[in-house]
Amino acid sequence: MPASAAAYSVTPWEISFLDPLRQSRNALIILNQPFSFPLLHRVWQSSTWHACADGGANRLHDVLQDHDGKDLRHLYTPDLIKGDLDSLRNDVGTYYSSRGVRIVHDEDQYSTDLMKCIAALVEDEKTERHVEQHTIVILGGLSGRLDQTVHTLSLLHKLRRSRKRVFVITDDNVAWLLDSGEHRITVDHSTFGPTCGLLPLGIDSTVLTTTGLRWNLTDHPSSFDGMVSTSNHLLPDEPVVTIKTTKPIWWTMELRPIAPPSRRSIEAHDAACCDGHSS
């Protein structure tokens, strides 16, 4: 590893937004891709700001309208729906408008609906004083159309200079960009694993050193023209993975199936909504 990389500070990572008992300063942005109710419940509970990128509102609406014979839409009301609104269905827009949701039509064709939601979050943060940034949790973005997936990957690569914490999650994976330097990732093996990967996307090559994996790397080059560490495994007796990289690289972990929330958990969420503690 070059001396310059060895001098980098260590960045700690913890996936607290999947802990149902912890509410953090997270901003959830829902994209127009499928997701399960258990995953939605987990990431919603731990977030304080909720937005749907255009057709993401359709996904939210439909997964809640008939959940085991119950209508749960009123328990998960977003703060914002924003985009060019070419995908938002009329019935969905009418429903959320009646709930007082802010629906913003933004025709800018040089920014995607995801970018528009992030811009709205930044504007909301500007109205607050001396408060740290939200951690952004993007629900969706790693499946469906390839061009949209590549956009998500590209956008996070650019955002690394202005946002400290941006995660992308689906029912299968959680992923985020590790910038140049050394990283210490705390792994909850009951939630993640066993497979993981380090993907050199958007760079020519990097040099990797890892610990905590079944197949560790030591000063090993990685590039699309060379070695790509896919289908690696987390070691179940290792609570921490460390990664040193000379260039930004994508880290991904398999997400184990999430159990449906209990009735008690949903009722507690219902009570919090009624008390005005949650949007």
Bond preceding residue 194 cis, omega within 30 of 0: yes
Strands, sheet with 10-14, edge to edge from the N-terminal-most edge strand = 10-14, 181-186, 240-245, 206-211, 220-222
Which one, of 49, 54, 111, 118, lies nearest residue 83 by Cα?
54
pLDDT band of residue 52 (cuts 50, 70, 90) is very high
Strands, sheet with 249-255, edge to edge from the N-terminal-most edge strand = 102-105, 80-83, 49-53, 26-30, 135-139, 166-169, 173-178, 249-255, 192-199, 229-233
Which one, of 253, 251, 17, lies nearest residue 135 by Cα?
17
Q: What is the DSSP letter of 9?
A: P
pLDDT band of residue 267 (cuts 50, 70, 90) is low
Predicted local confidence at residue 128, as pLDDT: 84
What is the overall mean pLDDT for the chain?
Answer: 91
Which residue in this structure is represented by tokens 């946002």? Answer: 163
Q: Average pLDDT of 197-224?
A: 97
**What is the dihedral sign for C-alpha 215, 16, 54, 58?**
positive
Q: Average pLDDT of 251-258?
A: 96
Residue 266 CA to chain centroid, in angstroms?
A: 22
Q: Is the model's pLDDT at 270 over the cut of 80?
A: no
- Cα–Cα distance between 200 and 204 in angstroms, integer? 8
Lowest average pLDDT, out of 5-14, 80-89, 94-103, 262-271, goes to 262-271
Write the single-letter amino acid at 161: R
pLDDT band of residue 274 (cuts 50, 70, 90) is low
**What is the dihedral sign for C-alpha 108, 109, 110, 115?**
positive
Domains in the chain and their CATH numbers?
21-171 (3.40.50.10240), 173-258 (2.60.120.320)
Evaluate whether 176 touches 17 at the Cβ level (below 8 Å): no
Which residue in this structure is represented by tokens 């380090």? Answer: 198
**Angle between helix 113-126 and 146-159 (nearest 10):** 30
Q: CA 175, 179, 182, 188: dihedral to nearest 10 degrees?
A: -20
Q: What is the DSSP letter of 276?
A: T
Q: Which two tokens stand for residue 262?
A: 């209990």
More confident residue, 127 or 195: 195
- Cα–Cα distance between 203 and 255 in angstroms, integer? 26
pLDDT band of residue 160 (cuts 50, 70, 90) is very high
Q: Is the pTM of this model over 0.75?
A: yes
Which one, of 169, 148, 198, lies nearest residue 15 by Cα?
169
